[in-house]
Structures are given as structure tokens and as C-alpha cells.
């Protein structure tokens, strides 16, 4: 019944309905103000983790800005170095009809060059892959080698990618990737229709307070094929990987992840 209210042009109405459905389980991990950790409620442990470090040591730092509380995970400086901000254990499955919301900030133009980013849900760490075909996953993504455009040029757009362990579906959105900018993205899975919808909003420069009124999330992609396997457990979070084209330390800057699921 919940999904009957999912009107394409009114995202706020289904969100309000979802809040008042008592059988839905909810959890949230939010960055601790002035800290480098996350406070979790009804949510698995959520933290910075170093995936690969063959160059300078990876670090984690407080990233608070005017837009809100953030944790910054900084990779090493060598090609293939990668960090993640991710749940310690799997947190959901597609057949639980999860709605998952992410709050993150992009790095500077330097940090957004020669980089791969995945923000979403996955069955295994996606840091080392430029396609989700071999994973059960649904993510907002960006890879400067695969996508062949530059954030600094103003021609880069977020992609919505999903995989079912054998194929990938990829949709380029109309939401630009800007440096030092706050984004809110939501991934909504409907197991009855085997569909995954992606919602995204650019909330403005991270160094400024959020504008009022806040932009609404808009649906930027809908995938009815190559979606996560219904019963496969999924981790939640974001990853950042240094690419060999111009190896240098990169950043995953995360504010919060929250979920509502059956």
C-alpha cells in the first residue's frame, strides 16, 4: 500500500505516509559534531575504514561546515588507494523495500579529479570496480576515467548505477557534480515490481548554510532491470578510490545515512 502513494511529482507526500507506518523499521547514523565518528540508532556500526593504502597513510578528520556536521575520510596518495564510510555489517535487502537516504559533500576540484566514487548499497566493497555488474548493488556513482569528463569543466553529472551480479544498468542524471557541494540522495527499492528509484538534490555550497526553502528531492532514475538480488544482504555507505591518471589523496565526506524498511 505504501508504494501506491509514490506519486512521481510529489516526493514529500509518500515520505509523510511512510513516517506514520508503524510496521516500518527505521535507523540512522549521523556524524558527531566536531568529531570523527558517527552516532547510530537502530543501525549497524557505521565508520570510516581504510580499504587500500599503498601510499601515504589514510586518515579521518572532522569535516564540519556551515551546511552541517560531517566526517572526512582521506585516502592515501597512491593509485588504487581507497577508503569507505560503511556499515560494519549488512543492513538491508531489496525484498525489505528499503528507502535509504544519504547526505554527503564533494571535495574540491583537485579531490574530484582522477577519482571513483560509489554512494549507495552493495553486497561487497565496490572500491576497486568501475561497474556494478558483478555485484548486487544500487549506487550514485562517478568515475573520471569511465565518464571522461571533468568536474572543473562543469560537464560532469551524477550517474545512477545498479547491478544484479551479472549485468549493470547505468543512467546519467541531469544533476551536475560540483566541487565542495552538499548533496542529498535517496535510493528506494520496491521488491514487488523489482524496481529501484533514485532521488537526488543539490543543496548548495557546503561552506554556506542550507538555502531556504530547501530544494525537493527529484526522481532522477528508475531501474527495472539489473537491480539488486532480492534476498542478498546489502551494506550501506560510500567509497572513494584514487585512480592512476593523477594519483593524489581523495576524500569521502559523509554526513548521515538513514533507512526506513519493512
The pLDDT tens digits of the residues spanning 140-157 come to 999 999 998 999 999 999
In total, the chain counts a number of residues equal to: 262
3-state SS, residue 19? helix
pLDDT at site 37: 97
* C-alpha cell read off for 181: 557541494
Q: What is the pLDDT of residues 160-200, one digit of tens each?
A: 999 999 999 999 999 999 999 999 999 999 999 999 999 99
Q: In Å, what is the CA distance from 95 to each residue of 188, 228, 237?
A: 11, 9, 19
Helices (runs of H) and strands (runs of E) counted in the chain = 2, 16
pTM: 0.92
Show the domains of the chain with their CATH numbers: 2-261 (2.60.120.200)
* C-alpha cell read off for 120: 549507495
Amino acid at each position: 500500500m505504501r508504494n501506491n502513494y509514490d506519486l512521481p511529482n510529489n516526493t514529500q507526500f509518500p515520505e509523510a505516509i511512510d513516517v506514520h507506518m508503524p510496521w516500518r523499521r527505521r535507523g540512522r547514523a549521523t556524524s558527531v559534531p566536531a568529531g570523527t565518528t558517527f552516532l547510530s540508532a537502530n543501525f549497524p556500526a557505521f565508520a570510516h575504514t581504510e580499504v587500500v593504502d599503498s601510499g601515504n597513510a589514510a586518515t579521518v578528520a572532522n569535516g564540519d561546515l556551515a551546511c552541517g556536521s560531517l566526517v572526512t575520510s582521506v585516502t592515501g596518495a597512491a593509485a588504487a588507494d581507497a577508503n569507505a564510510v560503511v556499515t560494519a555489517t549488512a543492513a538491508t535487502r531489496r525484498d525489505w523495500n528499503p528507502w535509504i537516504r544519504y547526505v554527503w559533500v564533494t571535495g574540491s576540484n583537485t579531490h574530484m579529479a582522477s577519482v571513483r566514487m560509489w554512494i549507495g548499497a552493495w553486497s561487497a566493497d565496490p572500491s576497486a570496480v568501475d561497474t556494478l555488474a558483478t555485484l548486487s548493488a544500487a549506487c550514485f556513482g562517478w568515475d573520471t576515467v569511465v565518464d571522461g569528463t571533468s568536474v572543473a569543466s562543469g560537464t560532469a553529472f551524477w550517474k545512477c548505477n545498479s547491478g544484479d551480479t551479472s549485468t549493470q544498468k547505468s543512467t546519467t542524471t541531469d544533476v551536475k557534480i560540483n566541487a565542495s557541494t552538499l548533496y542529498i540522495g535517496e535510493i528506494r527499492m520496491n521488491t514487488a515490481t523489482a524496481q529501484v528509484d533514485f532521488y537526488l538534490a543539490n543543496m548548495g555550497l557546503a561552506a554556506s548554510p542550507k538555502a531556504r526553502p530547501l530544494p525537493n528531492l527529484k526522481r532522477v532514475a528508475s531501474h527495472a532491470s539489473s537491480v539488486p538480488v532480492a534476498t542478498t544482504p546489502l551494506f550501506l555507505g560510500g567509497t572513494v578510490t584514487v585512480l592512476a591518471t593523477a594519483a593524489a589523496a581523495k576524500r569521502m565526506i559523509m554526513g548521515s545515512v538513514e533507512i526506513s524498511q519493512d
